């Protein structure tokens, strides 16, 4: 049989060959400049959330010089502290921000704000008024998720969804409902790289049939419901439709072989009780998912706020009994230092992951994987659990136009960018600040544009940052 390779869509050709994702990008199958450029445009996003804030001692504190999370100095001549210096080899690949936060929740205690870190939503002050909106990662997933086996990878150390303002997940769908996070490495690996069994097609067919029946019943029921119940049902049906889309997508990928990856270096049964290796394994799973183009979007919440759950074990990696108490013992001898040592460990592992992306040539594209991946790392809780002046890092994405090697200070009246701003205890978290901040969603809208999403607004923001 004669085969015109130049006329073949790469994805279709490889699917027909039966070895789709197991093969690297092959120049032979993209002989035209246009076809080659299509792989260069591959863009990825990974977002990471750290609970309980970071050390931000006041200038008068002896720990200020060495253990403040924020750097010292200006935009280009900034000096990383001991808390951050493990990222120095990546200095030209990162931007540090201060003076950003979500306006809707600035007067909400920092332990209750993980839910809105990627949404910017006004989640309300009480549980009975809770309402969220779509997260940054899912906006991007709606844009590129159809091109990969999994639209996004949602992970956390504790798993599941958690509770309102006690989230175990960073990701929220179009209705603002939490997307459950996976937390067991073996289950994540199997989902990404192992077939679901010989009867997968039959189960998918049954799922589709059940959904059809459910939708038909719902249409009949809707006619007899009150206006409020109709809205409730409409929201529910949207979730059903989302499930339907997932089923249809799963059917399309059913006969495409899973990518082959080397797992000799992985212990997939690892738990947070071995925190350093657990964290490295979770990062490695994201790396493998990105390298094989199994997904282009990942979120990983390193723990839940308030020190509840197995995520509190992460501090054991550097000799402390738990993570949460470190943020409450900063006034004790070596308190800020101890908190800083923990954050140094977190930054070290983030840097290890980013360096791994940088060391890997982009499959079928220009530069390395970090050039085509943007990493967002931060927290919605700063010193004394304030929901202001979030500690934020942005890394990678040079091929998308991101500019790095800078420390950007936003807002007015907070020249030293100390989140405490005169408040010296948790009791003052409702207090007024003597400075202004800019909306974090300005950054998110900037990111979406560079990722190729033509959004006019996000999280209430319509402005972008030209210096990012």
Structure tokens at 60: 């008068």
Q: Average of pLDDT values for 11-15?
A: 37
Torsion angle of alpha carbons 236, 238, 241, 242, nearest 10°? -100
Does residue 357 surpass a pLDDT of 90?
A: yes
The pLDDT score that the predictor gives to residue 39 is: 46
pTM of the model: 0.82
**Distance (Å, whole) CA 439 – CA 459:** 9
The pLDDT score that the predictor gives to residue 335 is: 92
Does residue 346 surpass a pLDDT of 80?
A: yes
Q: Average of pLDDT values for 29-44?
A: 51
Candidate from 139-143, 227-231, 280-284 with smallest mean pLDDT: 227-231
- Give every CB contact of residue 11 below 8 A, 6+ residues apart in sequence: 20
The yes/no answer on whether domain 44-193+264-450 falls in CATH 3.40.720 is yes
Most confident of the following: 361-370, 375-384, 395-404: 395-404
Does residue 29 surpass a pLDDT of 50?
A: no
Indicate the SS3 state at residue 44.
Answer: strand
| Alpha-carbon separation of residue 405 from 66, 269, 370 (angstroms) | 20, 38, 15
The pLDDT score that the predictor gives to residue 13 is: 36
The pLDDT score that the predictor gives to residue 237 is: 58
Q: Sorting pLDDT into bands at 50, 70 and 90, what band is 351?
A: very high
């Amino acid at each position: 049989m004669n085969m015109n390779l130049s006329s073949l869509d790469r994805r279709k050709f490889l699917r027909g060959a039966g070895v789709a994702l197991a093969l690297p990008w092959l120049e032979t199958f993209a002989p035209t400049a246009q076809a080659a450029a299509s792989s260069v445009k591959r863009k990825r996003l990974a977002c990471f959330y750290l609970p309980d804030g970071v050390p931000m001692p006041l200038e008068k504190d002896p720990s200020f010089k060495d253990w403040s999370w924020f750097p010292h100095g200006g935009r280009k001549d900034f000096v990383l502290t001991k808390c951050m210096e493990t990222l120095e080899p990546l200095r030209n690949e990162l931007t540090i921000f201060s003076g950003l936060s979500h306006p809707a929740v600035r007067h909400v205690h920092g332990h209750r704000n993980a839910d809105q870190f990627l949404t910017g939503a006004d989640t309300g002050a009480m549980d009975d008024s809770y309402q969220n909106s779509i997260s940054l990662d899912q906006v991007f997933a709606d844009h590129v998720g159809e091109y990969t086996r999994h639209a996004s990878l949602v992970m956390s150390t504790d798993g599941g969804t958690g509770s309102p303002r006690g989230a175990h997940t960073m990701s929220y769908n179009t209705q603002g409902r939490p997307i459950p996070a996976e937390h067991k490495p073996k289950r994540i690996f199997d989902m990404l790289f192992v077939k679901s069994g010989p009867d997968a097609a039959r189960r998918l067919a049954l799922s589709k049939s059940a959904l059809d029946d459910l939708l038909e019943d719902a249409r009949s029921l809707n006619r007899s419901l009150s206006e409020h119940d109709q809205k409730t049902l409409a929201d529910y049906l949207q979730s059903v439709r989302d499930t339907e889309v997932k089923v249809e997508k799963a059917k399309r990928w059913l006969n495409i072989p899973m990518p082959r990856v080397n797992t000799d270096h992985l212990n997939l049964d690892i738990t947070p009780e071995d925190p350093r290796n657990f964290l490295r394994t979770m990062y490695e799973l994201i790396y493998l998912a990105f390298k094989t183009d199994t997904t282009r979007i990942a979120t990983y919440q390193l723990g839940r706020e308030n020190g509840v759950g197995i995520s509190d074990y992460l501090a054991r990696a550097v000799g402390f009994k738990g993570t949460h108490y470190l943020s409450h013992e900063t006034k004790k001898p070596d308190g800020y230092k101890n908190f800083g040592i923990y954050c140094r460990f977190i930054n070290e592992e983030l840097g290890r992951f980013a360096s791994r992306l940088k060391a890997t040539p982009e499959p079928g594209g220009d530069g390395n994987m970090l050039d085509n991946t943007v990493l967002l790392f931060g927290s919605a809780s700063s010193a004394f659990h304030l929901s202001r002046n979030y500690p934020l890092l942005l890394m990678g994405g040079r091929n998308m136009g991101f500019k790095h090697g800078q420390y950007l200070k936003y807002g007015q009246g907070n020249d030293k960018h100390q989140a405490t701003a005169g408040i010296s205890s948790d009791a003052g978290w409702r207090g007024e600040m003597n400075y202004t901040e800019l909306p974090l969603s300005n950054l998110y809208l900037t990111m979406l544009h560079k990722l190729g999403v033509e959004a006019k607004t996000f999280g209430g923001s319509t402005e972008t940052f030209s210096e990012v």
